[in-house]
Chain A
Amino acid sequence: MDELIIAGKVYASRLLVGTGKYKDFDETRRAVEQSGAQIVTVAIRRTNIGQTAGEPSLLDALPPSKYTYLPNTAGCYSADDAIRTLRLARELLDGHDLVKLEVLGDPKTLYPNMVETLKAAEVLVKDGFKVMVYTSDDPIIARQLEEIGCVAVMPLASLIGSGMGILNPWNLQIIIDNAKVPVIVDAGVGTASDAAIAMELGCDGVLMNTAIAGAQNPVLMASAMKKAVQAGREAFLAGRMPKKLYSASPSSPTTGLIS
C-alpha cells in the first residue's frame, strides 16, 4: 500500500488541508470531507470574551477524534512567539504534539524567516514536538531542518495564498532527492494541476488552503484536488516516459503503409 508515513503514523491521504477562509463551519466541513484529507491545520488565537456559552466551534465541524489536527504558528514573526504558540496548542489538544512550524519574515509577502525558523525548530524538537516545518525552497536549509530533527519539511510552491503554483520545480526536486523525511509542498497551490505537478516531482504530499477555500466552488475544488494528488502520485510511481527534445517518435507502425 502506498501510504504516507509522518512521525511513524500512517495516513491514507496525501492531501493535507487548511481550515481558514471558508464562508462558515458548514462549508469548511463539507470541503474537508470531500477532500479526503485526514490532517487539517488550525490556527491558535485568543478566544472572544463575552460570547454566549454553547456557540459552535471549529471542533464541532471537524471533530479531533476524526481528524489529526496540525496547529500552526501563523502570524508569528519570532521564534519565541512560535514556540509559545505551539506550547499552548499542545496543552489545548491534550498533549498532541504533531505541529506545523512557520515563522514569517514579512507581512506583505508572508515569506518565511528561515533564521528564526531554524532557531524555533531546534527548541521545539528538543521539547519533544514532532515538527512539520514550513520552509523556503532552499535545499541547504531544508537539509538543516531535517538534521535538527523535523519530521517533515514543507517547502513553499509560491507565496501563501497567491495561487501561483510551483515556481521553482528544480529546487523542489533537489529537496526531494536529498530528503529522508516526507516532503510536503505547502503554500501557493492554485489549482488541480499544481497539486498533480508537485506529486509528479516526487513530493510525499501537498498542503493547501486557499486553493480550495478561495475557489468559486470549494467543495468541487476539494474533489478535484483529491483526484489531482492521487493522479500525480500514480504518475510518479508509474515512472513517466522520457522527454524527447527536438525529435518525434511515432506511435503507429512505420511499415505496411499503403502506397
Chain B
Amino acid sequence: MQLTVNGTSHSFEQNPNLSQLLEYLNLTGKRLAVECNGEIVPRSRFGETRLADGDKLEIVVAVGGG
C-alpha cells in the first residue's frame, strides 16, 4: 500500500497497522502524536488502528522553540 508520512510517499508490501508502521520507522517508544487523515489517533489505539492505501499521516514531536 501507499502511505504519505510527513509529506513523503512510502510503499509497503504488507498492510501494517499504525503500531507496526512506527516500529518500521524506528519510532517505537518515542514520545510523539499521530494524525491520520486529519484525525488524531490516541496512543492507546496504535495497535488496533488499521491503515489503508492512500492514508495521509502526520507524526509530530516536541522540539525546541520560543
Instruction: Write the residues of chain A forming the contact surface with B, with a CB cutoff of 8 angstroms.
Output: 18-22, 28, 41-47, 49-53, 57-59, 69, 71-72, 74, 84, 87-89, 91-93, 160-161, 209-210
Contact = CB atoms under 8 A, between A and B. Distances in A.
Contact of B61 (A41, A45, A84): A45
Contact of A44 (B25, B26, B60): B60
Contacts of B62: 42-44, 57-59, 69, 71, 89, 92-93
A47 B60 contact: yes
Interface residues of B, number: 27
A206 to B, nearest CB: 13
Contacts of B30: 47, 57
A88 B5 CA distance: 15
Interface string B35-66: 10010101100000000000000111111111
B64 A58 contact: yes
A42 B43 contact: no
B65 A42 contact: yes
B60 A59 contact: no
B48 to A, nearest CB: 16
Interface in B12-46: 25-33, 35, 38, 40, 42-43
